[in-house]
Chains A and B, each alone.
Chain A
């Protein structure tokens, strides 16, 4: 197990570097640059700007400089568009927003999804099984940028219960609608996965034993079945996080949240290279680490798995 973890961690580093390099290359390919504005800039001023940001050096020098700073000091530099703000600072302040919404959404999805899926699995092929699975399928088919505005329409613009956008910190009314919108898709997926996993587990021998022993259904489910039945959910967590990134972009845009997704989109549109690289690297590291954690959890849940 330990060897496995170490090996994975070691592989992470070159992977991240490759990711950064490819992103860097793609940014350089794109036209336009960060200092364009409404009026045409006189040539002398443009020259000054290019000198100031080191754009007049040959590309491999710039690349080397960038990579060196990242590897050596974890320093992604300062944002080109937001004067004087370091990329690390921007990520540090926007991460809590995205993380809060993402984590809450996923927790909600887990709670509701697992419950719904388990209930469905306990009485397979019944009306309620059917109904919840159809609902789940609906949840998968409705894009989050359709669901979100409908929620806004009903709960914000008509009932005035929640603000339609903006962020006011964690325990505030602003959290509710974004979390609901984001979790819809995952709720559905998790419900289906739980149901499938639970169905298989509930058919197996050791569950039959437990039931024969006279344990109540609740005990059977919670103490015995869940552990095995949740494996597909656990293994889904990895890719779900990847999806969470794009889902978060949509939600942050719909609700105008100052999170990583918003900054990322803005940075791409602004060709703000340091910020793009910083966020890309950060997201990549997070995903790889989370996948590792998921694999470990997987092993924990199923004692038959060995690394």
Chain B
């Protein structure tokens, strides 16, 4: 009886159920049939925050507040607020403007810099900032104990690299004279810079700044003469690997060198030997091992921003905890809610506090772009980080007046593992390169520019950038055929039966833009070569070691952003002998070309030599260049003082909230205001 009842009641209401489901589907359908309306000039809510604060979506949770340590962009932006260097960046042009240094003198070949510090700069604890603080910071930044991954930026400083690599000098215990490079120059090392490279290659991998150039004889540096300065201007000392095994290997190869070092003691290069000197409490002198015109611009990098010695010595590892930390920038740490936000507030003791407009900055943590943009739209955030606008949203967001466009010094490319077949055949590599239509890819991305070379296009003024192979599917197929993998027509497309698809893959770390790129490349190769390269996405933790250790077959996505405004920051990626650049390609000839360029004093000639090296790189095709990036981010119209720049770093002291809507930014703020 019960079953009967159940059944009959259900029969009656079945129609209602079907009707309900149909209506529900219809409603859902209607919701989706219209693109969610975003009327108006701006993307979302434009009510300024009640308080005088800026809420900025910064990206990942910052790992550390210790300036030389982290390598990520989110941390870099935070350091811009918390710490100051000798120079600061002009928010519009990114040129160097006075920071802790009021003024500076440079000698005529840019190998020596003297900075005069201002007297009224203090730490957030109240202690005055002195030249010794800077010297301490730099020594700490390049110390092997800290093992900072940014240390290489300081390698232009005399003996900085030797110190970092724990190298040793050779000293004659009887005469207390150090063996000089020129003493052994004739014996084992040839005078060409290439030789130093072979010396350096005994060290751990890394960028090499040649030390074998005679210090220039110019004395244009003002400032008191000191013994240290004389040391800097004396002929450079010979440095040898600190690791005994490596050293003995080197000596074994060079019997003449070994003879010259007979009976000498090995003295470790110490922090006091590197080329930074505090002439007095407010004057700093930096001596470089070679001329580096772009070095001034480097001094705004986080590696050179000052870290507080007293606090570090007192608290060690824990010095960055909010209860201990002491900073020297326009802002100081107020509160750190992990995984949520870092709040900094204006430091009233900062030397220029009167010109710092914001009371607080909230650096929001966000792991993905749609979240960031949603926060921005609702008005919970006032600006978002670079590349926060997902590509697919551009059609809606780009026309808005709060969208910031601009060129960026960053490129995307595919590393090719050249150590494993079939990719060890250059014809195969070139074929895959030429089978990608980068122009239409860039068109589909809307904001990037196609790239055939290895330096970003249009960023370096006057740089004669070479061109790589263009999109030529015919040629690509021909090359593949020559390499032993003929491509034949099949229906509408192609097939390449002989190609060992199992031996290639395309790996990338999981995020939506990498995924789109991967799918696009895969489709291009399928379309033009008839080869379906399998894709494999991995989380960063697994992807990075796999790429760096070359544990992949075929292609691995790569991105690089400039550390400083010079093509060398890109080309230098392939100078590592162990091939840990993700492709396994290493050619001493290439390294020699780069070194030659870096020793050239004439900037234009230097550019030409760099371009020559770049062409050589492109001809060897260890990578497939894809695109040059453009910055793309949003800021509310009431946020002033932030300008799009190629590095996406903002000197926060210049930012302010404009409450008068007639003064708001409609579009990219003009650089001429």
Contacts and interface: CB of A to CB of B under 8 A. Distances in A.
* Touching chains A and B, CB distance < 8 Å: yes
Given A36-B544, A81-B63, A125-B5, 14 more contacts: A37-B71, A40-B580, A43-B204, A45-B147, A84-B317, A127-B13, A130-B16, A134-B20, A156-B378, A164-B375, A167-B340, A256-B371, A269-B540, A271-B541
Nearest to B72: A38
B366 A256 contact: yes
B495 to A, nearest CB: 35
Interface string A22-42: 000000000111101111101
A164 B545 contact: no
Contacts of A269: 539-541
A156 B45 CA distance: 11
Given A40-B205, A125-B9, A82 B374 contact: no
A160 interface: yes
B339 interface: yes
Give the 9 A-B CB pairs with smallest separation, nearest first: A40-B580, A258-B339, A42-B204, A164-B374, A40-B548, A32-B541, A32-B542, A125-B9, A258-B340
Contacts of A31: 542, 545
Contacts of A165: 366, 371, 374-375
Contacts of A32: 541-542, 545
B36 interface: yes
A34 B576 CA distance: 24
A93 interface: yes
Contacts of B206: 42
A163 interface: yes
A152 B373 CA distance: 13
21 contacts: A36-B544, A37-B71, A38-B71, A40-B578, A44-B204, A81-B63, A83-B317, A83-B320, A94-B339, A134-B17, A153-B31, A156-B374, A157-B374, A158-B36, A163-B380, A164-B375, A166-B364, A167-B340, A258-B337, A263-B339, A266-B339
B323 to A, nearest CB: 12
A166 B545 contact: no
Interface of A: 31-34, 36-40, 42-45, 48, 81-85, 90, 93-94, 125, 127, 130, 134, 152-153, 156-158, 160, 163-167, 256, 258, 262-263, 266, 269-271
Interface string B559-597: 000000000000000001010100000000000000000
Contact of A157 (B5, B320, B378, B580): B378
B63 A163 contact: no
Interface in B143-175: 147, 149
A93 B16 CA distance: 49
Nearest to B551: A31
Interface residues on B, range: 35 or more
Interface of B: 5-6, 9, 13, 16-17, 20, 31, 36, 45, 63-64, 71, 147, 149, 204-206, 317-318, 320-321, 337-340, 364-367, 371, 374-375, 377-380, 539-542, 544-545, 548-549, 576, 578, 580
Contacts of B380: 163-164, 166
A37 B375 contact: no
Contacts of A156: 374, 378
Contacts of A164: 371, 374-375, 377-378, 380
A152 B371 CA distance: 11
Contacts of A158: 36
B36 A153 contact: yes
A156 B366 CA distance: 17
B292 to A, nearest CB: 21
Contacts of A266: 339
A262 B13 contact: no
B544 A38 contact: yes
Nearest to B376: A164
A182 B350 CA distance: 46
Contact of B367 (A44, A94, A167, A256): A256
Contacts of B371: 164-165, 256
A271 B539 CA distance: 11
A262 B204 contact: no
Given A31-B542, A157-B374, A39 B71 contact: yes
Given A36-B544, A38-B71, A130 B13 contact: yes
Nearest to B149: A39
Nearest to B55: A166
B363 to A, nearest CB: 13
Nearest to A93: B338
Contacts of B364: 166
Contacts of B367: 256
A44 B242 CA distance: 12
Contacts of A37: 71, 149, 544
Nearest to A153: B36
Contacts of B548: 39-40
Contact of B45 (A33, A40, A160): A160
Contacts of B377: 157, 164
